[in-house]
Amino acid sequence: MKQKSPELTSPIRNFSLQLSPTPRGARLARLLAAEQLRSWGLPLDPARQVVAELAANAVTHGRVPGRDFRLLLYVVADTLRIEVTDTRDDRLPALSDSGRGLLLVEALSDRWGTAPGLPPRKTVWAELNLAPEPKNLHSGGADGLPEGPHR
């Protein structure tokens, strides 16, 4: 007896590009990611800010002359995953008081972390849930706001 395998009900969307490890490359990562999100009909923020921070970190801390960094965006179900891969596996990111980039990534994303790649690569990733959060409705008028005095 043959069993049917579960089918994906939502398409898997992905976007990948390789960029130079320069300030221009980081800016292009942000701009092209925003355009891709727009074409998918997804909200630009906070994903655009997360891309900007991860790309800036790759350019600032993961730069090796002559080696590019890669930006990958993909959506599976209700999750957008943003990955930036650079060629400095010896420099793993950490939250610190000296820079605010990863603090912003932590605040804006639902999850983030690092993954080793083929030497000398590492990937820093962040995930954003795309499903709307349920409203916390309180008793009262429209939109859960308390009703004002009746006239």
Q: Where are the alpha helices (DSSP H) in the chain?
A: 23-40, 47-61, 101-108
How far is 78 from 132, CA to CA, in rounded Å?
Answer: 9
Spelled out in words, what is the top-level CATH class assigned to the domain 13-131? Answer: alpha beta
Residues 84 and 94 sit within 8 Å (Cβ to Cβ): no
pLDDT in tens, 71-87: 999 999 999 999 999 99
Query: When comparing pLDDT for 129 and 102, which is higher?
Result: 129
pTM listed for this prediction = 0.79
Please report, rounded to a whole number, the percentage of residues in the chain having pLDDT higher than 90.
Answer: 58
Would you list the domain boundaries of the chain? Answer: 13-131
Q: Which residues of 92-108 are buried (b: 16+ CB within 10 A; e: fewer)?
A: ebeeeeebebbebbeeb
pLDDT in tens, 119-136: 899 999 999 999 766 555
Residue 141 has pLDDT above 80, yes or no: no
Residue 38 has pLDDT above 90, yes or no: yes
> pLDDT band at 140, cuts 50/70/90?
very low
